Amino acid sequence: MVSRATTRAAGLSPGGPVRVRLEKRTSRLRSLLDTGSIEVATRARRTIWQPSPAHEPAADVAIRSDLLRLTPSHEQDSRIQEISTSRSAAVHVLLLALFENQVREPRAYESAGRTRLPVHNPDTVDWVDFAALPTTDPRSSAPILAANRERQIKRALDRLAEHGRVEVKPHGDYNRFRLLNEAADNPAGSPTYYRPPRRTRNKVLILPVEFFTNCWLDALTDNELITYLALRAAAHANPTRHADGGISLSPKSRRTEFNIERPFELHPMLAHYGLVRTTVTERLRRADGTMMAVTGDESGQVHRFTLNDEALRKPGVETVADALTRYINGSESPSRQSS
């Protein structure tokens, strides 16, 4: 049985504006494949991740979970929601910067949090290739595509700098920008520079490196990303519960801890892509008619989620584009995947 919220989110037979939006999104994903951008990004990320056979590659990336949580200084929107807009690649660039900083081979003399990648340099791995951002006209020539992506990256860095996630040198010098602590407020003049976090269970979430190297980051919308990261944070904080039958997030927790009440309705899409497995059960009632469980939704159902990291071994952009195409054509519904 599927809740009304899940049915609305799934859009069992997408039409009108929903269909148009999904078709445009699918077209953008296909363009990343057709232009070779995803192939280039995969190669660039793998080069940073394992520059030589002698380098022991990282298995995963740890992210401070307060990036996702509401805190006294961020009571309305979390830090990641604060930088998220439909016209900015800020979330994408921030997560990639965390990946780049953690998986690369360390150098003792280097400043903490400093990127090694130039924004644009055709002679080496650069952010234009590393980020693989979609463009409005993928038919443009390679130089125009690179220039468009360079502008997108710079705008994303401007937004990240405005909200205390990175430090950009004065006078618009974006090369060698410096990553700041993703869970700190970082006021101007006294920021906390980035260092990889300690892996305290309740303080971090863990992303397998394949999330980046197989370009799942590039395939998801900001709201899907935020929901997925919140589920990973909950799973890492409750490993026994996750292993025994799946974790759940109560409506109260979604609202007061992560502020993902509306984005959370996208969880059927995450199941449709194969990233999570969802079990839906009815909440039990006491003799007086009240619900025994407190982790369900308003319809009296409980959604339990198990992360499916096997899916991350697949190519992310192609997998999501194919899933969206099946959904648009009506051959497969996200709601069926989540029950």
DSSP conformation letters of 280-317? EEEPPB-TTS-BS-SSB-TTSEEEEEEE-GGGGGS-HH
Angle, CA 200 vertex, CA 197 and CA 203 arms, to 5°: 75
Q: Which of 230, 232, 277, 238 minimizes the C-alpha distance to 256?
A: 230
| Over residues 196-202, mean pLDDT | 90
- Domain residues for the domain of 114 are 4-337
* Contact (CB, 8 A) for 189 and 107: no
Per the structure, how many domains does the chain have?
1
| The predicted structure's pLDDT at residue 227 | 95
Q: Does residue 194 contact residue 179 with C-beta atoms inside 8 Å?
A: yes
Residue that has been written with the tokens 């690369």 in this structure: 104
pLDDT score, position 4: 39
Contact present, 273 and 311 (Cβ < 8 Å): yes
The per-residue pLDDT for 283 is: 53
The percent of residues in the chain predicted with pLDDT above 90, rounded, is: 68
Q: Is the pLDDT of residue 2 over 70?
A: no
pLDDT at 288: 53
State the average pLDDT over residues 122-132. Answer: 95
